[in-house]
């Protein structure tokens, strides 16, 4: 389980790097607390997901991956819509990019956790 926490830390760092790059690329100016809340929500989501995958609570099939991708889409989309409502310079392109990278990061996390066990 310690290896899972290491992987989660690396995934959080990767998420921070991607988020910061695209935030600068799309010229988004937001409060620093916004990212703190985002990473807390995503980290809790990733911990729960990692726990489920690591201890085989759900039998994984192609339908499970579709369900996890859908849940990941909903989590990231809701976070981005909330930020869009609170910040005027939050663009729709940034919402799409962040949501897609969130789904990719979540699927990479599932792949790595299944390889660890």
DSSP code for 3: H
Assess contact for 94 and 22: CB atoms under 8 A. Answer: yes
User: pLDDT, tens digit, for every residue of 72-96?
Assistant: 999 999 998 988 888 888 888 888 9
Confidence class for position 52, pLDDT limits 50, 70, 90 = confident
What pLDDT score was predicted for residue 73? 95
pLDDT at 100 over 90: yes
Q: What ranges in 1-117 are assigned the alpha helix state H?
A: 2-25, 32-54, 62-86, 92-116
DSSP letter at 58 equals S
């Amino acid at each position: 389980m310690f290896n899972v926490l290491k992987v989660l830390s690396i995934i959080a760092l990767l998420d921070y790097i991607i988020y910061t790059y695209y935030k600068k690329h799309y010229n988004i100016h937001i409060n620093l607390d916004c990212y703190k809340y985002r990473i807390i929500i995503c980290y809790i989501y990733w911990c729960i997901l990692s726990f489920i995958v690591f201890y085989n609570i759900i039998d994984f099939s192609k339908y499970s991956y579709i369900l996890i991708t859908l849940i990941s889409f909903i989590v990231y989309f809701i976070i981005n819509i909330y930020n869009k409502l609170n910040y005027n310079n939050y663009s729709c392109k940034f919402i799409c990019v962040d949501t897609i990278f969130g789904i990719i990061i979540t699927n990479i996390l599932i792949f790595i956790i299944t390889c660890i066990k």
